[in-house]
Every structure is written in structure tokens, then in C-alpha cells.
């Protein structure tokens, strides 16, 4: 496992029952997953020698993020190590320009978009398709960093000024601003031979580019819409040759159109509910997929599941919040990531499952607010 964040930490938990031995390449000795994994190498995942030495003796390499340079992954494959997802698939999660071009060729609905070399080209695009417009870096963005909403031509330099702070090899993509009413996501797990399973569609609330909550299944979708979105995600996974989890982030526009925002090829924040809300979690299915084992059922264990992220707030001692939390709600489930509490940082999440969306949503939000220290209730 390359990358020691909370996704690796939760995959470690899933690996235990499967009897898979995880070796971790961690950014530091005390990052989230390094606190729990036994076999840890601390090193720089952008250094070819570090990654090669780490991977020697591994049957398969997978990731908790998408930032390992493509050339390093090709080198691993040349050395006979299975890389899952492989570099040809992963590039669609690393580079939004490559992703847009490929999805366009597949006929997958996306916002109108164009790679623009300079501010003048960006203005020309937006004059054609309308202001405001979205500009984003093709590479290196995360949690909304590297995405700009531009209101007029006077702001057209912003992405070009911001770009090179993020990545030297990135380009700017101009996109039609989608006036969305909500964001959705659909997750697929796929094995090397093509067996694949798909999870129910989730609704996701993003604030300032960060996922803060999900509701599964997404309320208000017609059964035929759900089927179409699931079929689309399965088709994307197959066409791109994804192995492991593919997350398809979607935007539902005011006019009802649903378009793809971006792709991720790893367990995804919008799938965290599946630990407590599905027969097989996204973390377990990711590991089963990369280990080429039959995939587990994605059926829900209750009619609805609501996940709320715990973002760093007034409470610095999260463990101190568990007493009140568990005393109040004996069915609430918590994952803490072992991170220092920094304002706004993702330090954990809570999940409630239940029969009634309103009640389950209330329980999950109350728990998250209490845990981060917003309220004593
Ligand atoms: N074309 C668009 N129209 C409107 N909002 C957008 C568009 N593209 C992105 N966004 C908003 O910006 C957020 C972050 O964009 P995304 O490409 O997913 O970047 P990141 O890599 O940071 O997750 C999205 O979740 C969505 O809320
Ligand atoms: Mg995103």
C-alpha cells in the first residue's frame, strides 16, 4: 500500500480478516495508517529507488492516493510487480484533461470543456459558453484546491497564476459552470478479469470542496436513473480497465441532467458509509479486487446509511467525546483517523444506519457535531 492516510488505515482493518499482509509506504512514521500497520517503510513515493525497494517482494501494489508518478508505476510493472489499478487506468484519475477527453470519446455526459493555453483562450471559451465558468488544474488538485469559479474576464488570469504553485506539468481546463442542485457518486469494484460489482448511488454534500456528508441511497432518484448511473459506472470501469474501486463523482444539474465531475481510483470518502451500511465495505472490496478474489455483496444492511465527516473543531481530544456519544446513541458507528485535530481537517467520520432518512440523518449529524465539540447536546 502506497500512502499512509485514513484510506490505508481503513484498508488495513479490512485486510486483517482476509489474512492479507499489508506493507505500507508511509510519508512519515506517525501518519494515520503507519500508527496501525505492522510492516511500515517510511519514504518518498515520488522517488523511484524508494518505491522499487519498498515493492520488492510484494505480490501486488495498490494505493491510498493517486499521486505516484506514472513512470514509477511502469517501472514496477516492468520489474514484474502487479500494479492495481495499473498506470493506464490510473492516469484518468491523475489527469483531468486525459479523463475529460476519454469520457467524451466514450459518450459519457460531462460538462462542456476545453484545455486552454492562456487567459485569452479561457475568455474565448467562457464568452462562447457563458459566465461564470469553471477553471481547473489538470493535475495536482485536491479537496477543491485547483478549482476556480470565475465570474468574468478580469479573473481569467487567476488559474494561470495559481497553477504552477500546484504542479509544473499541469494545464488549465475550462469547463461550463454546472448549476447543480446536488452532487452524487457511484462506486464500482472491479477485478483484473472483469468481474465487477456496483454500490448504490450516494448523495454527497461538499462544502468548500470537501466532502462533509453522504446519504445512501441518494433520495429522490428514479429506479431507471439509478440503473443508468450504475451501468455507466460499470462501463467506465471496464473501458478504462480499472482494478479496485472506481468512484464516479457526479453533478445533478437544475435541469435534471446528470454529468460526471471526476473519477477516483481508490476507496472514496463517499463510500465510507459501506463499512457499517453494506454487506461488504468498499475497503474490503478494493482489497479483494486487487488480490483477485471474488467480490463481496454490495447490498445494504439497512434501508439507509448516513455518513458525516468529523472535521477538526473545538474538541481536541476526540476520544474524550466517545463517552457521551456512545451513551446517547448505542447504534452510532465511529472511525477516528488518529490525526491531530486541526481546524477543518478530516479527523474521522460517523455513520448511522436506519429505516428512516430523516431520523438517520439527524442521528449522524448530532453525533458528528457532538464529537467535534460544536455542541454538548
Ligand atoms: N464544471 C463544474 N461546474 C460546477 N461546479 C464544479 C465543476 N467542476 C467542479 N465543480 C465543483 O468543485 C468541486 C471540486 O472539483 P473536482 O474537480 O472534484 O476537484 P478535486 O480534485 O479538488 O476534488 C466539485 O466537487 C464541485 O463541487
Ligand atoms: Mg472531486
Residue 98 main-chain phi, psi, to 5 deg: -65, -45
Q: Each residue of 218-238: pLDDT tens digit?
A: 999 999 999 999 999 999 999
Nearest residue CA, atom 26 of ligand 1? 209
H and E: helices and strands count for the chain? 12, 17
Residue 85: asked if its preceding bond is cis (omega within 30°), the reply is: yes
CA of 261 to the centre of ligand 1 (A): 6
Beta pairing, strands 202-207 & 210-216: antiparallel
Among protein residues, the one with the nearest Cα to ligand 1's atom 11 is: 209
Beta-carbon count within 10 A of 356 CB: 11
Residue 135: nearest ligand to its CA? 1
Per-residue burial over 44-63, b = 16 or more CB atoms within 10 Å of its CB, e = otherwise = ebeeeebbeebbeebebbbb
Confidence of residue 142 (pLDDT cuts 50, 70, 90): confident
Per-residue pLDDT averaged across 359-363, rounded?
98
Q: Is the dihedral of CA 214, 216, 220, 223 positive or negative?
A: positive
From the CA of 113, give the closest atom in ligand 1: 1
**111 within ligand 1 shell (Cβ under 6 A):** yes
Residue 165 pLDDT greater than 80, yes or no: no
Q: What spacing in Å lies between the alpha carbon of 142 and ligand 2's midpoint?
A: 7
**Domains observed in the chain:** 6-83 (3.40.50.20), 112-176 (3.30.1490.20), 180-372 (3.30.470.20)
Ligand 2 centroid, distance to 111 Cα (angstroms): 14
Atom of ligand 1 nearest to the CA of 136: 17
For the beta carbon of residue 323, count every other beta carbon within 10 angstroms: 9
Q: What is the pLDDT of residue 209?
A: 82
What is the spatial distance between Cα 275 and Cα 300, in angstroms, rounded to a whole number?
10
Q: In this predicted structure, which of 110-119, 134-143, 302-311 has the lowest mean pLDDT?
A: 134-143
The pLDDT-based confidence of 360 (bands split at 50, 70, 90) is: very high
What's the pLDDT tens digit per position in 32-79?
Answer: 999 999 999 999 999 999 999 999 989 999 999 999 999 999 999 999
Amino acid at each position: 500500500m502506497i500512502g499512509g492516510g485514513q484510506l490505508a488505515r481503513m484498508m488495513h482493518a479490512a485486510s486483517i480478516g482476509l489474512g492479507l499482509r499489508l506493507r505500507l509506504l508511509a510519508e512519515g512514521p506517525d501518519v494515520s495508517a503507519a500508527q496501525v500497520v505492522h510492516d511500515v517503510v517510511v519514504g518518498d513515493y515520488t522517488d523511484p529507488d524508494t518505491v522499487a525497494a519498498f515493492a520488492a517482494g510484494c505480490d501486488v501494489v495498490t494505493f491510498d492516493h493517486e499521486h505516484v508518478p506514472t513512470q514509477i508505476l511502469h517501472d514496477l510493472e516492468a520489474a514484474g510487480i502487479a500494479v492495481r489499478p495499473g498506470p493506464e487506468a490510473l492516469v484518468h484519475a491523475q489527469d483531468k484533461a486525459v479523463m475529460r477527453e476519454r469520457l467524451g470519446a466514450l459518450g459519457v455526459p460531462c460538462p462542456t470543456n476545453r484545455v486552454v493555453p492562456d487567459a485569452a483562450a479561457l475568455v474565448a471559451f467562457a464568452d462562447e459558453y457563458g459566465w461564470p465558468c469553471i477553471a481547473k488544474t489538470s493535475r495536482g488538485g485536491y479537496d477543491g484546491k485547483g478549482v476556480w469559479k470565475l465570474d468574468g474576464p478580469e479573473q481569467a488570469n487567476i488559474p494561470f497564476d495559481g497553477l504552477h504553485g500546484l504542479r509544473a506539468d499541469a494545464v488549465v481546463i475550462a469547463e461550463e459552470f454546472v448549476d447543480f442542485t446536488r452532487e452524487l457518486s457511484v462506486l464500482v469494484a472491479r477485478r483484473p478479469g472483469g468481474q465487477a460489482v456496483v454500490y448504490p448511488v450516494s448523495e454527497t454534500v461538499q462544502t468548500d470542496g470537501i466532502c462533509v456528508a453522504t446519504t445512501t441511497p441518494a433520495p429522490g432518484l428514479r429506479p431507471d436513473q439509478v440503473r443508468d448511473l450504475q451501468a455507466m459506472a460499470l462501463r467506465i470501469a471496464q473501458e478504462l480497465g480499472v482494478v479496485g474501486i472506481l468512484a464516479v463523482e457526479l453533478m445533478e444539474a437544475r435541469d435534471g441532467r446528470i454529468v460526471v465531475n471526476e473519477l477516483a481510483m481508490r476507496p472514496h470518502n463517499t463510500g465510507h458509509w459501506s463499512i457499517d451500511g453494506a454487506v461488504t465495505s468498499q475497503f474490503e472490496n478494493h482489497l479483494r479486487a486487487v488480490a483477485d478474489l471474488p467480490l463481496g455483496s454490495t447490498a445494504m444492511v439497512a434501508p439507509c446509511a448516513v455518513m458525516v465527516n468529523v472535521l477538526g473543531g473545538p474538541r481536541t481530544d476526540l476520544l474524550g467525546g466517545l463517552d457521551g456519544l456512545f451513551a446517547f446513541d448505542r447504534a452510532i458507528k465511529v472511525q477516528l483517523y488518529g490525526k491531530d485535530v486541526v481546524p477543518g481537517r478530516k479527523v474521522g467520520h460517523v455513520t448511522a444506519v436506519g429505516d428512516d432518512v430523516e431520523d438517520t440523518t439527524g442521528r449522524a449529524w448530532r453525533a458528528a457535531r457532538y464529537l467535534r465539540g460544536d455542541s454538548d447536546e
